[in-house]
Amino acid sequence: MNPTSFHATISLSNGVQMPMLGLGTWQTPDGETASQAVRWAIELGYRHIDTAAIYGNEKGVGEGVRSSGVKREKIFVTTKVWNDAQRAGYDAVLSAFDESLARLQFDYVDLYLVHWPVKGKYKEAWRAMEKIYADGRAKAIGVSNFLQHHLDDLLPDAQIVPQVDQIELHPWLQQKSLTEYSVKHRIVQTAWSPLMQGKIDDVPELKRIARQYGKSAAQVALRWNIQHGIVTIPKSVRRERIAENANLEDFVLTSEDMQTIDGLDSHKRLGADPDNFSF
């Protein structure tokens, strides 16, 4: 992996190459808004698009990929199974995957994730994920929002160790012990809300570092993630912001700057707690 390259990838445990930088689509409206954002991203060089069933925009995302002019196999697409399917059981997870494929109008996805660790249900959901993977309809499978104790509970019964764990991760919430655990088990982490849901400019240390490089605080935060070997998926529907988020190749943070950002961890969640959610 060359962390200075916009096209850097990281190897999953099964050898699949996952692009380090992707376009997130949470809260992106379906239809033309989603498809246009995806087309812009691909035009600008992105090769990784992240969506989910609950986002309600898989149809637009799929249209954006198909109309981009870039071959499907060149684009890494992630989607996720929602909690209602988990609660309904094994067959419902399989059906939910079929429905996601139908909305995307794809024959496969590159990565399929269990979106949240629904208590008492995620092990059965994982069996369905393993079936999807064995059938070749997902090139990789993983989880999202799983903490160490969820993984400790899952792994003894799993035939396949999750290849990815997508978690809330940003300068205020770094989850360092979970990162160490993931490295030990060859689970690649993806950071959601890497720009802290718009609060990135509230961090003076990031703004100070950004001025040194002639960059934005957002670019510094994304660069920090990538230099730590963490995949990152900033969301935007504005072409100029999508372009800015990708403009990370012409600078590398020093070890001192990395340590400064590492020191900002305050264990502050901006999203839901994986141990306490009701949706």
Strands 164-168 and 48-50: what pairing? unpaired
CA 159, 165, 168: angle at the middle one, nearest 5?
Answer: 160
Strands 9-11 and 17-19: what pairing? antiparallel
* Interatomic CA distance for residues 123 and 150, integer angstroms: 10
Nearest one of 117, 122, 230 to 176, comparing CA atoms: 230
Query: With b meaning 16 or more CB within 10 Å and e meaning fewer, what string describes 25-50?
Result: bbebebeeebbbbbbbbbebebbbbb
Q: Yes or no: say if 155 and 163 are a contact pair by the CB < 8 Å rule.
A: no
* Interatomic CA distance for residues 254 and 224, integer angstroms: 10
108 belongs to the catalytic site: no
Pick the catalytic residue: 46, 55, 112, 133? Answer: 55
Q: Which helix (H) or strand (E) holds 262?
A: helix 255-262
Tokens for 241?
Answer: 């912001």
User: Which residues are designated catalytic?
Assistant: 55
